[in-house]
Structure 1
Amino acid sequence: MSLKVSNILTTEEKEIISSTAFIHTMEKIFDPISVPIILVDKDTRVIMINKIFADFLGYPKEEIVGKKVLEVDEYSRFPYVLKNKKSEIAWKHKFKNGKTAIVHRIPVLDENNEVLYGFGLLLFQDVKEFKDIIEKNKLLEHALSHAKKQLQKINGAKYSWEHILGNSVGISEAILMGKRASKTKSTVLLLGESGTGKELFAHAIHHSSNRKHERFIKINCSAIPADLLESELFGYEEGAFTGAKKDGKIGKFELANGGSIFLDEIGDMPLSMQSKLLRVLQEKEIERVGGSHTIPLDVRVIAATNKNLDDMVKEGSFREDLFYRLNVMCIKIPPLRERVQDIEPLTIKLLQKLSDELGVYIKQVSSEAMAHLLNYDWPGNVRELENVLERAMNLADDDTIHTSHLPYNLLKNIEKAMNYKGQSLREIVEHTEKEVIMKCLEDTNFNKAKVASLLKISRSSLYDKIEKYKLE
């Protein structure tokens, strides 16, 4: 009877044969690879190294295999890695021959967490190569960032919700409505007095929508003559009228295809154009002036006006059907006189902005001057506030705006200003805060959770203020 060879081998001999076969297989796999690779046993003896790594170290493979790794490279950290059983990834290492590289050292463990092998790899054979790649990556990131900024400039949406300041109830509700509107495809109608920030809202709605990477086209309906508005909005074909460009012209709606179009001062649009805009909103297609075919569109319309469209509809100067088509998501932006508590934070932010633009660095507004700002009605709203501050900054002698730097129209309302005579700025602000909280409580039927949410303060802070001002 014959015995198989495997049956008469000792366990140690079997392990040697198995290990030799494993190493032979590893050499076949890794030797042709152009990445330097090394394998050591649990005693840090080199059992496999591919040719490119041996050449990097400056020895023939035959002289390296079988030696302990410290005999080949006295600076090797493999003994430390195998002892601690922790990998070292992307370490900078200087070899005995003076070369520097980025390396990986990885312990290979069995199911009992005991070391079997140590696996090493050179990620970069030269630190300079590594630095070059890092620099190229930085250049690519910079180029990508620049391209994104340029694309944003082309698209036109420059402002986001962070640019709209204020915690008053009216502006908070408008922002909340705007954020909800941005998540839809519906037409948005922005209503508010001149200077309240309707264009900022239009930018922010587009910027936070799923169209933010597409174009945001703006057009002021009151700034373009009635006879040119149609060709400006819808474009024209070659020869459509005397003076038309040879190849025709693309209109604003086509430019905005896939994105959003902001129709500012929609209340000033002529009746003849209103009917054509209504067709675009209903059919989602346009026809160029002088054209013979329709062009399908996917455009989100955001319209704005400082006029009372309800009254205009009754008067017959604005089409009722267009009004209802536009008035899907209606956002009313409150005037500055209805959000007194926002004047101080707005002033601080505008001072920072104007300081950067003008190079005139003003840090603060005196309490007397702030009292006048709080008492003024602001018919021109935030735009007027910015103009007043810019004027005051140009007149200021130091880093503070005083009453003498404010225009006469802010100071002439002396009767109202006298109500605050002898009061500190803190007392004036507290009086305003009390009035705002009381109005919110009344508007919400004393729902404190809702009031805290509207004012963006904690419930505990609201309770403290209610107790302080005795509003129960």
Structure 2
Amino acid sequence: MNASAHKHENVVKADEDTLLTEYFVSMMHKIFDPIPVPLIMIDKESKIRMINKVFADFLGLAKEEIIGKPVLEVDKYSRFPYVLKTKEAEIAWKHTFENGHTAIVHRIPVLDDKEEVKYGVGMVLFADIENFKDIIEKNKLLENEINLYKSQLKEMHGAKYSWDNIIGNSEKMAQAKFIGKRASNSISNVLILGESGTGKELFAHAIHKDSARSHSPFVKVNSAAIPSELLESELFGYEEGAFTGAKKGGKIGKFELANGGSIFLDEIGDMPLKMQAKLLRVLQEKEFERVGGNKIIKTDTRVIAATNKDLKKQIQEGSFREDLYYRLNVMTIEIPPLRERSGDIESLIQILLKKLSNQLGKYVVKISDNAMKILMSHNWPGNVRELENVLERAINLADSDTILPVHLPVYLNHSSRINIDGPVRPLKYLIEDTEKEAILRCLEYTEGNKLKTAELLDISRSSLYNKMERYRIT
């Protein structure tokens, strides 16, 4: 083939490419003109080959004035020549056009198989920067609202406490925590035993939070606080019309809420026998029916139960099912009472003082030696809950950053001196002990100021002197 033939072939090919390009651009106009989003297409020479009507109107020009011109003649601030040169897209850039409008734009280079630039596509995301800011603010508000709801949902149906919240290094408490942590790593049911106020609920929270179910719900039910006739519907829910007063659409039960997570059944020893039978079926079959319904609902819920009752004694008396006891009694944790771990009392006091001071807004973080002796000598039948109540009362009464004996309940001193197993002392002497204790504490509080002591005790100064002489208080 001679040179003229080659030249003719190249001209024909160029004409075909031009026709194809013109056809392509024409199709682009037809496709993108109706779209309400501003769009533009630039060739590799930075000339505008297509712009839709919305974009032309945004620039304040007719399409005919724009197409075919270099982009810098239409908008001298355009970064398209730079984008085509670097071959790197600019996504969501803030750009101020020559007409003064500020917008958020995309600039995207389109490459061929050889990584060469074919053309560039531009898009205006937000024609008004203020609208963009408004959307951002609304999204922030929405995100904050979602986070708030998530937080509230977690608070309602999530574990709040971890092992760090359980204070105590005594041998018995260390043993209880050891078993609790092992229970966290298992899928078995857990039975927590302990006197009232020992922290059974804290252990339940910590077990769930440390388990593989920690991201699933943790639902609490107090078996003693719910009337027996309502307990079934509370645990398993009910269908619409199941009974008079039933909500429209029915109600989901605690076991459904806890699906995939854990349910904490506190005061399990107070659960009626009828409900014990239904609970046993859930533990055995992993299924239940709503009240008034006949649909079988499957559940994957771990049961953590707790009680301050002697379940073995209740079994003998016939008030607790033996088969349910053995279903629950897989991982058993016995929490020692405070009187059996007196070595933990001082550290508990310091932590509770800090916690309560923050809650009450009063800086009371110290305790006098005499006050500490009184607290250490008490038997604490109410366990940690009683200790917390005593400290809260003391903080409210304190006028400085230190708790003194005068801020503690009078009964604490007597409890360590009176032998409850021996004969009861006459009431006269108990009253005298109380009166003497009150005067001593008040004198300590007023640093020996008898006038102020009499005023605080609401008695005359002469009466105070008489009582001091009677009780040999110097």
Provide the residue aligned with 1:263 in structure 2. Answer: 265
CA distance in 1, matches of 2:364, 2:80: 60
Distance 1:143 1:288, change over 3 A: closer
1:364 partner letter: V
- Aligned-partner SS, 2:221: strand
- Aligned-partner SS, 2:185: helix
Provide the residue aligned with 1:389 in structure 2. Answer: 391
Question: Which structure 2 residues correspond to residues 227-376 of structure 1 after superposition, within 5 A?
Answer: 229=228, 231-234=229-232, 246-247=244-245, 254-257=253-256, 259=258, 261-269=263-271, 274=276, 278=280, 281-282=283-284, 298=299, 300-310=302-312, 312-313=314-315, 318-335=320-337, 350-351=352-353, 353-358=355-360, 360-362=361-363, 364-365=365-366, 368=369
Provide the residue aligned with 2:53 in structure 1. Answer: 51
Distance 1:345 1:92, change over 3 A: farther
2:135 partner letter: I
Distance 1:396 1:56, change over 3 A: same
User: 5+ unaligned residues in a row in structure 1: which ranges?
Assistant: 237-243, 416-472
Distance 1:369 1:265, change over 3 A: farther
Question: Which structure 2 residues correspond to residues 138-157 of structure 1 after superposition, within 5 A?
Answer: 138-148=140-150, 151=153, 157=158
Q: For residues 314-339 of structure 1, give each alpha carbon's deviation from its aligned partner in whole angstroms, at most 9, with x where no partner exists.
A: 67664432210221333344555677
Tell me if structure 1 keeps the 8 A contact 2:223–2:231. no
Tell me if structure 2 keeps the 8 A contact 1:102–1:127. yes
Give the CA deviation at 1:33.
2.4
CA distance in 2, matches of 1:105, 1:173: 61
Task: Count matched residues.
Answer: 397
Q: 2:33 aligns with which of 6, 10, 31?
A: 31
Provide the residue aligned with 1:164 in structure 2. Answer: 165
Q: 1:218 aligns with which of 206, 218, 221?
A: 221
1:36 partner letter: P
Root mean square deviation, CA, Å:
4.8
Stretch moving more, 6-15 or 376-385: 6-15
Tell me if structure 2 keeps the 8 A contact 1:165–1:342. no
CA distance in 1, matches of 2:77, 2:369: 73
Tell me if structure 2 keeps the 8 A contact 1:235–1:251. no
Provide the residue aligned with 1:464 in structure 2. Answer: none
Q: For residues 338-368 of structure 1, give each alpha carbon's deviation from its aligned partner in whole angstroms, at most 9, with x where no partner exists.
A: 777876775565445434532x232633585
CA distance in 1, matches of 2:367, 2:39: 71
2:69 partner letter: K
Provide the residue aligned with 2:457 in structure 1. Answer: none
2:77 partner letter: Y
Q: Which has the higher contact order (CA 8 A, sep 6+)?
A: 1
Question: Which structure 2 residues correspond to residues 10-21 of structure 1 after superposition, within 5 A?
Answer: 19-21=21-23
1:232 partner letter: L
Tell me if structure 1 keeps the 8 A contact 2:157–2:217. no
- Give the TM-score normalised by structure 2: 0.65
Provide the residue aligned with 1:120 in structure 2. Answer: 122
Q: For residues 159-199 of structure 1, give each alpha carbon's deviation from its aligned partner in whole angstroms, at most 9, with x where no partner exists.
A: 24377344843464254235335xx3x53312223222222
Distance 1:312 1:13, change over 3 A: same
Q: 2:184 aligns with which of 176, 179, 182?
A: 179
Provide the residue aligned with 1:191 in structure 2. Answer: 193
Distance 1:125 1:305, change over 3 A: same
- Aligned-partner SS, 1:9: helix
2:99 partner letter: N
Give the CA deviation at 1:312.
4.9
Identity %: 54
Give the CA deviation at 1:414.
9.8
1:362 partner letter: Y
Tell me if structure 1 keeps the 8 A contact 2:286–2:298. yes
Tell me if structure 1 keeps the 8 A contact 2:180–2:207. no
Q: For residues 90-124 of structure 1, give each alpha carbon's deviation from its aligned partner in whole angstroms, at most 9, with x where no partner exists.
A: 12222222222111123344566654433321111
Tell me if structure 1 keeps the 8 A contact 2:104–2:125. yes
Provide the residue aligned with 1:241 in structure 2. Answer: none
Distance 1:176 1:405, change over 3 A: same
Distance 1:170 1:67, change over 3 A: farther
Tell me if structure 2 keeps the 8 A contact 1:233–1:252. no
CA distance in 1, matches of 2:68, 2:293: 85
User: 5+ unaligned residues in a row in structure 2: which ranges?
Assistant: 235-241, 418-474
- Aligned-partner SS, 2:29: helix
CA distance in 2, matches of 1:342, 1:44: 79
Provide the residue aligned with 2:107 in structure 1. Answer: 105
CA distance in 1, matches of 2:18, 2:294: 83
Distance 1:266 1:44, change over 3 A: same
Tell me if structure 1 keeps the 8 A contact 2:263–2:302. yes
Provide the residue aligned with 1:63 in structure 2. Answer: 65
Give the CA deviation at 1:131.
2.8
- Aligned-partner SS, 1:189: strand
The structure with the largest alpha-carbon Rg is 2
Give the CA deviation at 1:142.
4.2
CA distance in 2, matches of 1:315, 1:280: 24
Tell me if structure 2 keeps the 8 A contact 1:234–1:286. no
1:200 partner letter: L
2:222 partner letter: I
Distance 1:370 1:4, change over 3 A: farther
